[in-house]
Amino acid sequence: MILRDKIFYGWFIVAALFIANILVLGGVRNGFGIFVEIWEKEFYASTASISFAASIGLLTQGIAQPILGRLADIYGGRIIILNTMIILVLGGFAIAFANGVIFLIFIYGIIISFASGGIGGSVGGVVIVRWFRKRRGTALSVLAAGGSVGGLICVPLMAYIMDLYNWRVSWIVLGLLGVISIPVIWIIIKNRPSELGMSPDGENLDNSKNFNNEDDEQGPLVVNRWKDSLKSWPIWQLSAGYFVCGITTSSIGVHYIRWAVSEDVSTNTAALAFGVLSAINAISVVIVGIFADRIERRTMLGVVYLLRGLAFVALIVFPGYQAVWIFALLGGMSWLATVPLTSSLTADIYGVKNLGTLFGLASLSHAIGGAIATYLFGYAFDLFGSYDIPFLFGIITLLGAGVASLSIKEKKYSIRYTKKAA
């Protein structure tokens, strides 16, 4: 109780969702790539067919985001997060019994992937946004860092367990770890500060004010109906950038280790490098969030996309072993930083009323980009025996995403600046 009095309760919620992100982003999403080669051999499948299962998963997760985000806008994020986490845990156990690509498509591509949308920015991010205003970028960045820490822990761990036992045991262990998060979510997460008689950021409330004032925050482009947001440019600019983010992160999550092996880099080395990438990102994403609370968020978002473009250049220019580690460095500095920047910008511009739905739409664009790219990257590898053409495509699209982000008129549309002007 003393600890709660000293630390704003919103940070406990961030910590709970941080743990959930470790397992969902770090294990379920980023861990998939570890098993591509072994599944090819065991299921007598091509790289493209395994990639197809991942593509279906990404598309399913994208479709889930606006649906679950809308439910979170109406009923609150807590119940959505709790139920989807239970489904994720059960799905993780089920994967251990996979016997072919069809099984992967159904369990991973549909069941697990739909449930994973309940931990994403359209639900978890909405909860965080209601608890924070001034430190919104920082809080969302800490949340996103959970995925990076998950990559650092889960990817090497799952690779190690696979070598020590087999890939099925890896998924059982991941499911057991997921069990830990369920009571944490149940006990700690609250939908909004008013449920505990608090205000956003832990600021003192005037007794005459309604505790529900966290819902009163309205961005300059606030809309009563989420569909009306489609008439303004920022949602399209943010979604375009996030589409490219999906192309470049999802494809790497599935194909990074497969690419490394094709370059004569061992699976364990590639998994370790991805862990290093995640460690770097866990630090950099928080730093980006802190800076984004002090300068224009669009600037940080544009820089992140352009830096990731340089990381993709390294995959083409340098030999395999060098490229693995250069990519880990440059990619780590940019990987999940787009998530808090995109969600916080959406909240700043459009307010929190329909945030779950709106960020869900941006997340859908992310998933569509990821689903298309994940399959086509695998198809291109089967066709050409190399990932150079897909990586070149990634470079070009990241340049476009950087330009789209930098062109957002944040000072005109963000409440951070319009409120100061008023």
Q: What is residue 191's three-state secondary structure?
A: coil
Which of 36-50, 96-110, 134-148, 158-172 shows the lowest mean pLDDT across its residues? 134-148
pLDDT score of 233:
86
Given pLDDT bands bounded at 50, 70 and 90, which one contains residue 72?
confident
Given pLDDT bands bounded at 50, 70 and 90, which one contains residue 1?
very low
Contact 408, 238 (CB under 8 A): yes
Which of 11-15, 237-241, 255-259 shows the lowest mean pLDDT across its residues? 255-259
The arithmetic mean of pLDDT across residues 285-292, rounded, is 84
pLDDT score of 223:
65
The arithmetic mean of pLDDT across residues 372-388, rounded, is 88
Given pLDDT bands bounded at 50, 70 and 90, which one contains residue 229?
confident
CATH topology for 7-202+214-421? Growth Hormone; Chain: A; (1.20.1250)
CA-closest candidate to residue 377, choices 263, 248, 244: 248
- Distance CA(235)–CA(56), nearest Å, equals 25
pLDDT score of 145:
80
pLDDT greater than 70 at residue 219: no
Which of 44-58, 103-117, 205-219 shows the lowest mean pLDDT across its residues? 205-219
pLDDT score of 314:
94
- Distance CA(83)–CA(295), nearest Å, equals 37
Average pLDDT, the chain: 83
Residues 6+ apart with CB under 8 A from 241: 301, 305, 338, 342, 401, 404, 405
What secondary structure does DSSP assign to 58-98, as a single string?
Answer: HHHHHHHHHHHHHHHHHH-HHHHHHHHHHHHHHHHHHHTT-
Q: What is the end-to-end Cα distance of the chain in Å, rounded?
A: 40
pLDDT greater than 70 at residue 281: yes
pLDDT greater than 80 at residue 241: yes
pLDDT greater than 80 at residue 290: yes
The arithmetic mean of pLDDT across residues 371-396, rounded, is 90
pLDDT greater than 50 at residue 137: yes
Which of 144-153, 185-194, 234-243, 372-381 shows the lowest mean pLDDT across its residues? 144-153
pLDDT score of 4:
52
What secondary structure does DSSP assign to 379-420, as a single string?
Answer: HHHHHHS-SHHHHHHHHHHHHHHHHHHHT--HHHH-HHHHHH
Task: Report the range out of 306-315, 331-340, 408-417 with the highest average pLDDT.
Answer: 306-315
Q: How far is CA 392 from CA 148, 172, 396, 398, in A?
A: 25, 37, 6, 10
Given pLDDT bands bounded at 50, 70 and 90, which one contains residue 421?
low
pLDDT score of 266:
87
Contact 14, 135 (CB under 8 A): no
| Residue 23: other Cβ atoms inside 10 A | 29
CA count, 13 A, side-chain hemisphere, 388: 9
pLDDT score of 415:
78
pLDDT score of 83:
92
